[in-house]
Amino acid sequence: MADARGSYEFVGVPDGFQRLWTPHRMAYISGEAKPVDETEGACPFCAAPGASDSEGLIVKRGQLCFVVMNLFPYNSGHVLVCPYRHIPRFTQATLEERAEIAQLTVEAMRTLEKVGGAQGFNIGMNQGEVAGAGIAAHLHQHIVPRYLGDANFLPIIGQTKAVPRLIEEQRLMLQQAWE
């Protein structure tokens, strides 16, 4: 990019800044990875259980719900608890589904503490597009493990989150340690 004078003389000159390039995040930022059609047949949360654990990023399968790695994690170990049924709201979940969501959440927290040393958690559901749900048509609860010192300037200044473990590596660690 040219400076105010139209000069490119500083392009490529080291400036003392470290750069963390995350071009894979552009798929999320631009919406490329978001399904246009969130109907039951096209929904990624409906498709995941039909794939192998590795292909579907599945950590744990329950009777009514499952735990899946977040494809665009806020932190290492960020998982989602989803019912198998394609429903958009917690109010539409059965008593049994709500109980299993709660049980899988507890199990995920314990596993993340054991495997990754999580020191805290952000847990929540964004229901409806207006509430920030990326995939509003299929209920899912976020479990984001937190670690002392994990929040720094990158998300605020650079809209970038450093996630030190690959998703498949983290999925395998969690799956193998799940009680």
3-class DSSP string for 140-155: CEEEEEECCCCCCHHH
Spot the catalytic one: 78, 138, 140, 142. 140
Q: How many residues does the chain have?
A: 179
Amino acid at 113: E
Q: Is 78 known to be catalytic?
A: no
What is d(CA 174, CA 10) in angstroms, rounded to the nearest whole number?
46
What is d(CA 45, CA 148) in angstroms, rounded to the nearest whole number?
31
Amino acid at 12: G
Three-state DSSP class for residue 8: coil
What is the strand order of the sheet 58-61 is part of? 58-61, 65-69, 79-83, 141-146, 120-124
What is d(CA 117, CA 174) in angstroms, rounded to the nearest whole number?
12
Residues belonging to the active site: 140
